[in-house]
Each structure stands twice: as C-alpha cells, then as structure tokens.
Structure 1
Amino acid sequence: MAEVKFCGLTRSVDAAEAVRLGAAFAGVIFAGGPRLLDPTRASEVLSPTVGSGTRRVGVFGAQGVDEVLAIARAAALEVVQLSYGESREHRVGLRAAFDGRVWAVKHVSDVRDVEAAADWYGDGIDAIVLDAAVPGQLGGTGVALDWTAVAPAVARLRRRGRVVLAGGLRPENVATALRTVPADIVDVSSGVESAPGIKDPERMRAFAETVRAHEVQ
C-alpha cells in the first residue's frame, strides 16, 4: 500500500486530521505561494504530529543549504523536500548536513525527465518526487502528469529508490494513478482543498481511504 502525504498544510486542525487518517507525512511550504509559512507558524501547524508517527516535511524553493538547515531545525522537520531538485549542489549539500530524509523534486514534461532523475539516488537522495512541469510554478498547481506515458520509466526508477507521485492527485483519480504508475508515496495538496491551504476533511478522508484500498504492485 502506498503511503500518503498531505502537503500545503496551513492549519493545525488539518495536520491533526492527517494524523487521524494515518498519513505517513504532513507537509508545509517554505517555497512561496499561497500556502507559505514561516518556521514559527509551521511548528504550530505541525504540532499535532509530535509523537504520532506522521513525519514532518518542509518543502523548499531556492533557499541555500544553510537556510534550509536553519528552518528545518526551527520547525523540527524530519524530511526536507527540494523543489529545485535539479541542483546537484543542493542535493549533495543537504544530504551531507541533514540528519533526516532528503527528497528531491523532478518536474516532468515527458519521459526523458523521469529517466534523467535516476542518477539522483547516487547523491544519497531518499526519494524522488515526480511532479508536473508548469512554467513558473514549483508545485500545488493541480496539474497531473501523463501517467500512461511515464509509467515504464517510473517502474525503472523505482528499482533504484523510492518514488513520490505528485501533481493533480485527488480522491477521484488517485486509484487510477496508482494502477497506472505504482508509487511508494502519493502526495496531495490542492486536490483535497476547499481553498488554497484550507483542507476539506471529507476529501482528505476519501483520499486516504482510496489509497488504503489500493495495493501497489
């Protein structure tokens, strides 16, 4: 069964719901956009996850390694997710300095982008996040990948390491996505929202239950 990550959280009530639903990961955004938090607010939002087993993820943009580390410490993050995963300096620098997990985002336009990410595991990356490439946007766009087109390349990628599937997922399509592109983790943000950063508990529940009912091959 794939693990669930609820991302773009801006309210502690939504983090508490993520915990109640058994999500493996709860994410907050430091990369800009309408869901942007500062470290103090991020700690408050993620407070329901403490001691729960739901790991705290911070999504970063163009911040340097030292800034990422400072924010990670302040917000007690267990995973840092690099939206500019294409920077090898970023990947290697964070992996050497951060005690938790490091994920790197690959923005995908076509199958060649998936194939190009395979070497990132050699930099010690714990997981590669596959998201749709949208000009000028780092994520949270609601745009889905062409799952059928990238499926064979993703299957090969999973032989190297863990894969997080993001981009346009919602309760109505996550089962189809997982049947087409098996992944280790599914990452949802706008697909369970009533407004940017405001999660709908019924959609969160529907998403988690749909994933739980699907066995990844």
Structure 2
Amino acid sequence: MTTRAKICGLKTEAALDVAIAAGADFVGFVHYAKSPRNVSVAEAAGLVRHTRATGSAKTVTLLVDPDDALVDRVASEIAPDFLQLHGHESPERVAELRSRSGLAIIKAVPVATSGDVTEAFAYLAPGRADILMFDARPPADPAALPGGNGLAFDWHILEGARARAPFALAGGLTPENVAAAIALTDAAIVDVSSGVESRPGDKDPERIRRFLQAAKAARA
C-alpha cells in the first residue's frame, strides 16, 4: 500500500497547485496567529474551494486549542474535510469537537518516549480522533510553536504502534529522510511543513515535488 502524504502550512494557490499536481493526498492550512504559516478563516476557505475545484486532495484546517466559537466558524465557513487539533486537547475535548463540528479529526500528539506513544492511543477510542499523528515534542521555550519546528524524534519508539492502528508521522521530515522514516515506522501517512520550505512559511516547489516523489516510492 502506498503511503499517503500531507503537505501542511500552505498559504498560496501557487504552492497548493504544486502540491496537488505532485500527488499530495492531504493539504493543510494553519489557522494559528503565532505561526508563520497562518492564514485567516477567509483565506483558508478560499484555499479549500480552490482545492476542490482542481483536485481530489483532502483538505485539513489546523487549529491549536480552539474554543467552540472558532470551531463553529471553521466548520461553517471553511468546511474542510478534516480538523487537525495540534494543541493540548484532551481525548474528551477531541470527542466534543468531533461531535460539535461534524468533521473528521486528526489529533497530533507530541511524543518522546514509548510511553507517550502508548498513552496517545486513548485518542483513537470510538467517537474521538479518526487519525492519530505522532509529532516531535516542541522545544521548552514558551514561545515555541506546537508543531512545524523541523524537529524529529526517535522513530524507534513507534515500533509497538504498528500493530495497533494506522497512524500519521510528522516532525522533522524532509525529502531526504522520508523514505527511511516510512521504512522504519510503517507510517500510513507522512506530514511535512518546514521540511519543504525555503524559509519559515515559504514553500519550495521543488522540495514539495521531491518529498512527494520519495514518499510515494518508499514502499515500492
């Protein structure tokens, strides 16, 4: 089975077109003011419409610890295929937001140990997340972003995860290492943001193409 790939943090139609043409299965739009990849609700809605007019990639809106009002706006005004929760949302909060929004949920969980991985599967209980994403823990700096920091973690801690459920892998992935990451972890989905950028927030078309090519060829 070919690994699916997500290009996250897209801000422009030009970068989005490159990702779609190169075979991205998911395209992500960040709505988080502290991120260099932040787009407004209106901009995200336009990018979702553009995606649906030009390809079949699934659309994802990334939020960090959103309140109910923001989730309501995202569901009604952006209407993505998935809501990605990248904050400190508890399993119970994930269930609330899934029910409230009516959207499928990707829950990103920062991990550093095999114990973190085991605990994360609580998010996959019925009615909670649809996809569990393992990401690197952010730096201790309070100003650090919850994701998109270009940090990898020890992929060996995922060895016990393979048999439990398909999962997504993020954190420090690049065109150069994504094939090795897939070979080691057997991830069903790989997610990249900073690894295909020329500088924070600016996607590099050639790196997007190379990442997707490497990810799709990894299981061949």
Shared fold (TM-score, shorter chain, > 0.5): yes
Instruction: For residue 168 of structure 1, report the CA deviation from its aligned partner.
Output: 0.3
1:189 aligns with 2:193: yes
In 2, are the aligned partners of 1:15 and 1:49 still within 8 Å (CA)? Answer: yes
1:37 counterpart letter in structure 2: V
Superposition map of 1:67-82 within 5 A: 67-82=70-85
1:137 deviates by 2.6
**91, 96, 107: which one pairs with 2:94?**
91
State the alpha-carbon separation in 2 of the partners of residues 75 and 166 from structure 1. 24
Q: Which residue of 2 aligns with 1:37?
A: 39
CA distance in 1, matches of 2:47, 2:123: 31
CA distance in 2, matches of 1:53, 1:85: 31
Query: For 2:125 and 2:97, how far apart are their aligned partners in 1?
Result: 14
Unmatched runs of 5 consecutive residues or more in structure 1: none
Residue 106 (structure 1) aligned with residue 109 (structure 2) = yes
SS of 2:93's equivalent in the other structure is: helix
Corresponding residue for residue 58 of structure 1: 61
Q: What secondary structure, in the 3-state scheme, does the structure 1 residue paired with 2:74 have?
A: helix
- 2:24 is matched with 23
Length, aligned pairs only:
212
Q: In the alignment, does 2:118 pair up with 1:115?
A: yes
> Which moves more between the two structures, 1-10 or 133-142?
133-142
Q: What residue in structure 2 maps to residue 143 of structure 1?
A: 151
Match of 2:161 in 1: 154
For residues 197 and 47 of structure 2, what CA distance do their matches in structure 1 show? Answer: 16
Question: Residue 201 in 1 paired to residue 205 in 2?
Answer: yes
In the TM superposition, what is the alpha-carbon distance from 1:188 to its structure 2 partner?
A: 0.3
Q: Secondary structure at the match of 2:69?
A: helix
The unaligned stretches of length 5 or more in structure 2 are: none
Closer, same or farther: CA 65–123 of 1 in aligned 2, 3 Å: farther
- Secondary structure of the residue aligned to 2:162 is helix
Q: Using the alignment, how far apart are the partners of 1:45 and 1:145 within structure 2?
A: 31
Q: Find the aligned partners of 1:139 and 1:20 in 2 and give their Cα distance.
A: 25
Dislocated runs of 4+, deviation >4 Å: none
Percent identical residues? 33
* Bigger mean CA offset, 207-216 vs 176-185: 207-216
Instruction: Give the distance between the partners of 1:106 and 1:2, measured in 2 at CA.
Output: 20
* Deviation of the 1:85 alpha carbon: 5.2
Q: Partner letter of residue 146 of structure 1?
A: D
Is the partner of 1:117 in helix, strand or coil? Answer: helix
RMSD of Structure 2 on Structure 1 (CA): 1.6
Q: AA paired with 2:75? A: A
**Offset, 1:176:** 0.7
Distance of 1:201 and 1:22 partners within structure 2: 13
So what's the TM-score if we normalise by structure 2? 0.90
Q: The residue matched to 2:71 in structure 1 has which SS?
A: helix
Q: Answer whether contact 1:106 1:130 (CA < 8 A) is retained.
A: yes
